Chains A and B, each alone.
Chain A
Amino acid sequence: MGDIDIDWLLDTRVAIVAGKGGVGSSTVAAAYALAAAREGANVLFIAVDARPGMGPLLGGRELDHNDRVLRKIKGAGQVRGRTIPADQAFGDYLEMKGVSGLLRRASSSASLPMIAAATPGLEHLLVLGKIKELEKDRSADLIIVDAPPAGHAAPFLRSATSISDVVNSGPIREQAVEVDSMLRDAERCMAMIVTLAEETPVTEAIELAGELTIEVGLALLPVVVNACWPDRPGLAKTPAMAARSHKIKLSADAKRALASSATFGRARLERQHLQIERLAAELELPMLMLPRLVTPRLTPHHLGELADAILAPLTDPSEVS
């Protein structure tokens, strides 16, 4: 693999990884962190809505609000990990603003739900604000944000703009403006959309891309097509025909066994191809194909396989047909 292909890996300082529920965006975010560390980067992995198991998957402890090293790569970089609870982000923010004493007590965790209720999107904004601070301090070469799942990624990232509709002045407004300018600056922050090569996930990825670029102003990293089956052109032939080209004669049992998987395989591969084509045509973004792991249960070993795949060359959308 040439150097040119993986330049995108460290193209920006904050990479926000987002996808609808069930497409594996948390796993892809973790694999991206591991891949960047292998390339020598000091990476900070931030889980916004920490699912249990992400820390161990990366080779360390369960994530919490402490910034901890999860994995050091010999002769290369490292992966650190943490979460950002909204109440802690709020406390940090007040401290940073020099707000102290009474006001801090008044507005610390006990009142946060009340203040948050009065200002929709505030919790999200505080988390993004904390990420912005970490970026400004250059606390890592690359910050990878595992965005909230399902339908929550867009509202999370839109919080800076939507809060401006309600709050016209004061430090929260300032915070929203600062977060907004980070999100619009591709050198500082970009988004990675993760999808599957299936109809509904592709449709939703296309919609998410529109929301993030137009409404939030984010630039996009390569789009990740997760869980791709490897191409098996031989499946186009029947098992008997395929056997002939190997000069083997199959038993009736073997033919039946192979046919039982091939029917399903042909349909899956055809569908996968079709959906990748659609994604390429609609988004015109470079694509990164990650392999389908032959297991329903992910281990650190599998994460390594995915990191290998992240370091592989990108697919040019104009070459998909």
Chain B
Amino acid sequence: MAATASPDSTSGGSLGDVIRTAELLVTTGPGGVGKTTTSAALGVAAALAGRRVVVVTVDPARRLADALGLDEGAAADEPHRVEGVVGLGDGPDDGELWALMLDAGSTFDRLVREQTANERQAKVILENSVYRAISGSLAGAQEYMAIERLHQLHSSGEWDLVIVDTPPSRHAIGLLEAPDRLVGFLSHPVYRALTAGQRAFAKVTNAAASMFLWAVRRLAGPQIVEDTVEFFRSLSEIEPGLRRRAGEVATLLRADVSSFIVVSSPRAEAIGEAEHLVGALRDGDFPLAGVVVNLIHPLPEPLTAKDRALLDDLGEGPLADHLNWHDELSELAIAEREELAALADLAEDVPVVELPLLDIDVHDVEGLAGLADLLVGHG
């Protein structure tokens, strides 16, 4: 671990309370800021606090995946016990850490099975070529499936805490809008016309829908038209269920048991996105529980004016290397702290935890435990 940086002492509350009490924890933030690692470390912290935790992640970097036992041999979409957490903690009340790699396609399949009346109906949808092609890529599907999986895990009653690491996104509220987008898709006039009370292959009379089919046929060929119509019609059978679920998820994410943590880095663009997210969470009444800023450069001790005068005009050489390095690192570290001030203001009453740039990639549970310590402090 690099030089010291301590959790911000000026903010109230702590992430320690969050990992002990929340039932759902959603981390969100721009790409490349260590969001997945932070989620995993919060999972370790909660397990060490005695809870049974599952961390749901989308696309972990390889070494982190290894640390969580999610290497290539592991089956996607099922929870795996993460070994090595027990024994790191204080004693007998250690909890358990599990990890799960999200597979949007499998989650969609499960949703279809749950929402259809029987296996035959489910099979019609699951074997449709259009369904197979789009279940993983339908607009917002991955984001939607992340929260769908969260809902499944939470309502199973098997877990004290479910942590979901959301897919990175430039407009990271994609996740929160996903249920609305799916419902919006199902409400599209063309979709409605194609599915309204018609049997498969019945003549489509609605003008907008006919034009749509004509366009698809002209542009993409006749085979896809049949598959599309069949898919849309079969989807309409599970539509009430999908809508109900979207509503349940929207309620759950705003409930007291849920907490959102925004993860950022001290770079201006990341902070801009984090600020945007904090605002969007507040506007949407999603419970914001904290902000984590990763990758902060350590601030070197300053040189006194007297020492600095002595070091003027060094020319080149080893001491000049030291001085230049000290100056550059100080300049960057100070500028980063200025950027962070804006975020701290915006966070208002929720804790802002600042973490130093690490010297190594976290690649084992012990590394995560070290990070957990920095995130939630001791005791």
A33 CB, nearest partner CB in chain B, Å: 18
A281 in contact (CB, < 8 A):
no
A254 in contact (CB, < 8 A):
yes
CA distance A253 to B326 in the complex (A): 13
A200-B211 in contact given A248-B319, A262-B325, A263-B3 (Cβ < 8 Å) = no
CA distance A168 to B224 in the complex (A): 9
Contact assessment for A166 and B32 in the assembled complex, using a CB-CB cutoff below 8 Å: no
Chain A interface, number of residues (Cβ within 8 angstroms) = 77
B295-328 interface code vs A (CB 8 A; 1 in, 0 out): 0011011111011001100100111111111101
B22 in contact (CB, < 8 A):
no
CA distance A259 to B61 in the complex (A): 33
A19 CB, nearest partner CB in chain B, Å: 9
Point out the residues of chain A lying under 8 angstroms from B360, CB to CB.
199, 271
A103-B218 in contact given A116-B139, A265-B325, A298-B268 (Cβ < 8 Å) = yes
| Interface stretch of the complex, out of B71-79, B237-245, B331-339 | B331-339
CA distance A121 to B329 in the complex (A): 44
A60 in contact (CB, < 8 A):
no
| Interface stretch of the complex, out of A8-16, A135-143, A177-185, A231-239 | A231-239
A residues 286-309 in Cβ contact with B at 8 Å: 294-298
Point out the residues of chain A lying under 8 angstroms from B134, CB to CB.
117-118, 120
Contact assessment for A53 and B318 in the assembled complex, using a CB-CB cutoff below 8 Å: no
B187 CB, nearest partner CB in chain A, Å: 11
B133 in contact (CB, < 8 A):
yes
Point out the residues of chain A lying under 8 angstroms from B270, CB to CB.
22
A5 in contact (CB, < 8 A):
no
A96-116 interface code vs B (CB 8 A; 1 in, 0 out): 000100110111000101111
A256 in contact (CB, < 8 A):
yes
A149 in contact (CB, < 8 A):
yes
A239-B265 in contact given A256-B301, A294-B328, A296-B332 (Cβ < 8 Å) = no
Point out the residues of chain B lying under 8 angstroms from A258, CB to CB.
300, 303, 322-323, 326
B30-54 interface code vs A (CB 8 A; 1 in, 0 out): 1111000000000000000000000
Contact assessment for B212 and A113 in the assembled complex, using a CB-CB cutoff below 8 Å: no
Contact assessment for A106 and B133 in the assembled complex, using a CB-CB cutoff below 8 Å: no
Contact assessment for B133 and A166 in the assembled complex, using a CB-CB cutoff below 8 Å: yes
CA distance A137 to B335 in the complex (A): 45
Point out the residues of chain B lying under 8 angstroms from A243, CB to CB.
319
A233-B266 in contact given A168-B223, A170-B220, A294-B331 (Cβ < 8 Å) = no
B201-223 interface code vs A (CB 8 A; 1 in, 0 out): 00000001001101111111111
| Partner-A contacts on B (CB < 8 A) | 2-3, 30-33, 59, 61-63, 129-130, 133-134, 137-139, 167-170, 185, 188, 190-191, 208, 211-212, 214-224, 228, 231, 265-272, 297-298, 300-304, 306-307, 310-311, 314, 317-326, 328-332, 335-336, 339, 359-361
Can you list the 4 inter-chain pairs with the closest CB atoms, starting with the nearest? A22-B32, A21-B31, A234-B321, A106-B211
Q: What are 5 residue pairs bridging A and B, where the CB atoms are less than 8 Å apart in the complex?
A: A21-B168, A22-B32, A118-B231, A232-B325, A257-B307
